[in-house]
Amino acid sequence: MKRYSIVLALVIPLLVMVLIKSFTTGHFRSDASKWAESSINQTNLIMQEQLKSLEEKPLMVILDEGKAIPDEVGETVNIPARTLLEKDNQKKLRAHTGSIVLVSADPAISAKIWMLLSQMGYKKLYILTDSTDNEVLKYKFRPDTGTVPEL
C-alpha cells in the first residue's frame, strides 16, 4: 500500500498539470483573428497629417538608428528595432499612456514590431506610413514566361 501512495503522489499532480494545460484555451491576450483584424483593415496605419487628429500627443518611436521626424507631433524616442525588448526600452514604452507610433524607413520592420508589441498587450499602436494603399494592389502579377517554350 505504501508503494502505491508514492506512485499516486507523483502521478496525480502530473495529471492535474496536464489537464490544466489541455483545457486552458487562450495563452495569449487575444485570439489571432481579433488581433490581426486591425492589420487586415489597415486601421493600424496612420499618415503624417492624421497625427494631429489624435486625442493626445503620441509617443513617436524611431526604429531606425539616426532617423528623425521632420514635423514632430509628440514625444520622440529613438529605439532601434534590435533593442526594443530590452528592459529599459520596455519601461519607456510602458510609461507612455497615450498612442504609440512606430516610425521606420522599412515598412516591414514597422509591421513586425507592431505585431510583436500588439501581441504583448500594447494598445493604441500605429505604424506611420505615407500611403494606405494595400500592398497586394501595388504590383501587377506577371506569370513566369521563361519556363514556357515560345512558339
92 vs 33: CA distance, rounded Å: 29
Q: Write the DSSP symbol of residue 115.
A: H
What was the pLDDT predicted at 137? Answer: 46
Task: Work out the mean pLDDT of the chain and round it to a whole number.
Answer: 79
Residue 103 has pLDDT above 60, yes or no: yes
The percentage of residues in the chain with a pLDDT greater than 90, rounded to a whole number, is: 23
The CATH number corresponding to 32-131 among 3.30.300.30, 3.40.630.30, 3.30.420.40, 3.40.250.10 equals 3.40.250.10
140 vs 137: CA distance, rounded Å: 7
141 vs 38: CA distance, rounded Å: 26
Residue 94 has pLDDT above 70, yes or no: yes
Q: Where are the domains of the chain?
A: 32-131
Residue 123 has pLDDT above 60, yes or no: yes
Model pTM score: 0.65
Strand pairing class (100-103; 75-78):
unpaired
Q: What is the mean pLDDT of residues 64-78?
A: 73
96 vs 125: CA distance, rounded Å: 11
Q: Please name which of 88, 92, 94, 113 lies closest in space to residue 103, comparing C-alpha atoms.
A: 113
